[in-house]
A and B are shown apart, each in its own frame.
Chain A
Amino acid sequence: MTQPTIWALVDCNNFYVSCERLFNPKLEGRPVVVLSNNDGCVVARSNEAKALGVRMGQPWFELEPSAAQLGIVALSSNYTLYGDLSNRVMALLATLAPRQEVYSIDECFLDFSLFPPETRAAHGKRIRREIRRQLGLPVCVGIGPTKTLAKLANACAKKGWAGEGGVCDLSTWGNAARDALLNTIPVDEVWGVGKRQARQLAAVGITTAGALAAADPTWVRRRFSVVLARTAQELRGEPALEWAEAPIVQKQLVVSRSFGTRVTSLETLGSALTAFATAASEKLRAHGWLAREVGCFLETNPFDPGHYYHPFSSEPLPLPCNDAITLAKTANRIAARLFRPGYRYKKAGVVLFELIPNGTWQPDLFTAELLPRWAERQQTMAALDAINRRFGRNTVTLAAAHQRGWQMRQTRRSPNYTTDWRALPVV
């Protein structure tokens, strides 16, 4: 048997806010929020904003009246900036461990198996120091014998529940001590347990991570799901998730945006949907998933004069896939069916259904001839991801996504300090 993997999860603290502060030090110490596309609602908060009781997802129009009085600074999201800084963080982290899995824009798993147990926490601190020194961003590090425990250790480090100096190493804890800690952590802090599931668990008396770990595995599987049974297994320190494998907690994946201006042409809609399908395919690949079905919706503004038109349709895919080309083509084909001229579209989206892990799956006999092509596409997408990771997001994309005319409203956006020569900060 090979040696079991020790996982470290490195996560940037309040990533979007930290990115903004990097180029605007005046924001230090002030309550800062970052707003979603079209300045809709809060998607990131500084610790000061959290202390004021600003909620995640809170609509900006609720906050705006009192914002000035409370000293809250609101910024439009600048994904170009965050994406570029994310790439730099990930590139640096890749040099600090033998293996890396980028899980989202601000977090990644690292392989700590080769570090002797007593040095792991120190290495975590070195990582924190290096990222602070080279990029000026604060991160926390959680270390554990499973991905789920590493994720939980990270939350402990961030919230000060365990560990010290922004690093928490659960891999060296004995089972008894770990269980005692888990008994103090609310179950909705566990990776893969959503708010709704936490309520269902509370209804049967499981309110802490420890209680979930201790629950009878067969019962958890029958009463809830295999996914939750695997999560519970991971909490007990028994690995259930591999590299590039995340618990599938959602049944569908949606990428949708409201447009900056109303869209009336199918061509512009198609361009937007290509961009959404690309983003959705990137998410699938980052999570190691495939989708079996693609859906697409269009929407006019219900408050605009005239008929409110909001059609939706979906198509099963001949092979489950995660490649941008197939997803974009399918979404465009559906959109062409749904599109009615004469409407002013406000929003559109791509929805992926029937997500399965891209590990072990059963291809179909009657679409077998598509499989070699499918495997080629997997390689193309891996190459594309590698380029975009190295040279920045959207370095290589599908040409069809470049027809403009649908981009978002971003009135409070900071300049693209790191990716646009014209936005270089002047000293």
Chain B
Amino acid sequence: MLIRAPRDTLLTPLAAAAGIVEKRQTKPILGCFLLERSDDGLTVTATDLEAQIVVRQPLGELAGENGACAVPAKKLLDILKSLPDGAEVQLLAEENTLKVTSGRSRFTLHTLPAHDFPRLTPPSEGDQLTLTQHTLRRLVALTAFAMAQQDVRYYLNGLFFHLHDQNLHVVATDGHRLAHVEEAMPEFRDEREAILPRKTVLELQRLLSDSDQPVAITIAERQVVFTTGAVQFTSKIIEGKFPDYRRVIPMNHPVRIVFDRVELLRALQRVAVLAEDKLRPIKLTFETGLVRISGHNVEREEAVEEIEIHYEGAPLEIGFNVSYLIDVLTALTNEVIHIQLKDSMAAALITTPDDEHFHYVVMPMRL
């Protein structure tokens, strides 16, 4: 295999695939890129066995020779990154090595046989839907922060895609709070569900831009494929039953309080400075015309913030993990948010008047 190309032409596909390469892998080949040159150009593949990214890159007019090899990902990427902008690079694969040359720089890397590279075969069929990158990115940003992390309930360590009632519902929960958003899919009539692993979701967030470029999503029995432009991202699905999110989204809370999102967020961030480090408890005390936000730490240092609100009910005290509130207020971009409450034991509902398709449910804390 012989490739001649400008540094940036090589760097773009490698950087796109790099995120999925495990830093500490059990098999050397999982730390490699699979490089394949054909008449169509260069194909870069990376995998961690759960997910796979394939990036295609046309190579233009420059001469070369078709072939394939697996090469240590981080080393190749670091070498290319540190070469000067606009440098011309030549990659020459021989028996067990890849020679990288550019100007007066020469590098020899060990390679592994291309046929040893463990490829995931993308599903041949499945339900297909198409969104813009911008929309998918927004749906993920509004929910992904609520995913569980290394929970024994393994089905919570991911993002739930649920095609139902001609809507795409995207849901995440760690058992303490739940974020839900839906997007109309009028042309989609089937029922389909998939839990994407946490790592896939984080990688997806990295790959998506704010553009109107389309993303094709294929949901099959055991895999999901996202295809956009030159990138094809395949991921296994977490097998398991995601909890029924509709059951925990409260619909008839009697109290609805209107907040300026940024004002509330800033107040919470200040109180959070003195909230104890593990459970991060804070207390919201609602009185006529006022909410008092207070927190203290084990050293008994205290923080109190007051915000004027429209509230006329009986005084109500409710505790929360302050991080759960800060997370959602940071993910939202709207000016106004609503908090709906019943009592100090029932889950609170956070919504925004700009988007009736977004729900965030957070369980109060026992104080």
Contact = CB atoms under 8 A, between A and B. Distances in A.
A226 interface: yes
A368 interface: yes
Nearest to B321: A362
Contacts of B363: 362-365, 368
Contacts of B276: 360
Contact of A360 (B177, B299, B361, B367): B367
B342 to A, nearest CB: 11
A363 B365 CA distance: 6
Nearest to B249: A365
A360 B176 contact: no
B361 A365 contact: yes
Interface string A398-425: 0000000000000000000000000000
Interface string A368-404: 1001100100000000000000000000000000000
B319 interface: yes
A238 B299 contact: yes
B49 interface: no
Nearest to A361: B366
B365 A365 contact: no
B347 to A, nearest CB: 6
A366 B345 CA distance: 13
A360 B366 contact: yes
B173 A363 contact: no
Interface string B160-178: 0000000000000101111
B123 interface: no
A373 B202 CA distance: 39
Give the interface residue-count category, chain B. Answer: 20 to 34
Contacts of B331: none
Contact of B173 (A240, A362, A365, A368): A365
A399 to B, nearest CB: 30
Interface in A195-242: 226, 230, 233, 238-240
A34 to B, nearest CB: 39
A361 B175 contact: no
A365 B348 CA distance: 10
Interface residues of A, number: 18
Contacts of A375: 345
B278 interface: yes
Nearest to B248: A365
Contact of A364 (B175, B298, B299): B175
Contacts of A366: 175, 243, 248
A362 B366 CA distance: 6
B281 interface: yes
Nearest to B244: A366
Nearest to A230: B298
Contact of B248 (A238, A361, A368): A368
Nearest to B300: A239
Nearest to B319: A360
A226 B278 contact: yes
A233 B366 CA distance: 25
A247 to B, nearest CB: 13
B364 interface: yes
Interface in A125-184: none
B346 interface: yes
Nearest to A240: B298
B174 to A, nearest CB: 9
Interface in B285-302: 298-300
A371 B345 CA distance: 7
Interface string A341-379: 000000000000000000111111110100110010000
B279 interface: yes
Interface in B310-367: 319, 321, 345-347, 361, 363-367
A360 B345 contact: no
B365 to A, nearest CB: 5
A368 B347 contact: yes
Given A360-B366, A360-B367, A371-B345, A365 B178 contact: yes
B278 A368 contact: no
Nearest to B346: A368
Contacts of A365: 173, 175-178, 248, 347, 361, 363
Contacts of B281: 360
A337 B172 CA distance: 35
Interface in B65-113: none
Interface string B176-199: 111000000000000000000000
A366 to B, nearest CB: 5
Interface string A47-90: 00000000000000000000000000000000000000000000
B108 to A, nearest CB: 44
Central interface residue in B243, B279, B299, B363, by most chain A CB within 10 Å: B363
Given A360-B365, A363-B364, A372 B345 contact: yes
Nearest to A221: B277
Contacts of B365: 360-363
A359 B345 CA distance: 15
A255 B300 CA distance: 36
A363 B243 contact: no
24 contacts: A230-B298, A239-B300, A240-B298, A360-B279, A360-B366, A361-B279, A361-B366, A362-B321, A362-B365, A363-B365, A364-B363, A365-B175, A365-B177, A365-B248, A365-B347, A365-B361, A365-B363, A366-B243, A368-B248, A368-B346, A368-B347, A368-B363, A371-B345, A375-B345
Given A360-B367, A362-B363, A368-B346, 10 more contacts: A359-B367, A360-B279, A362-B365, A362-B366, A363-B365, A364-B175, A365-B173, A365-B177, A366-B248, A368-B248
Interface of B: 173, 175-178, 243, 248, 276, 278-279, 281, 298-300, 319, 321, 345-347, 361, 363-367
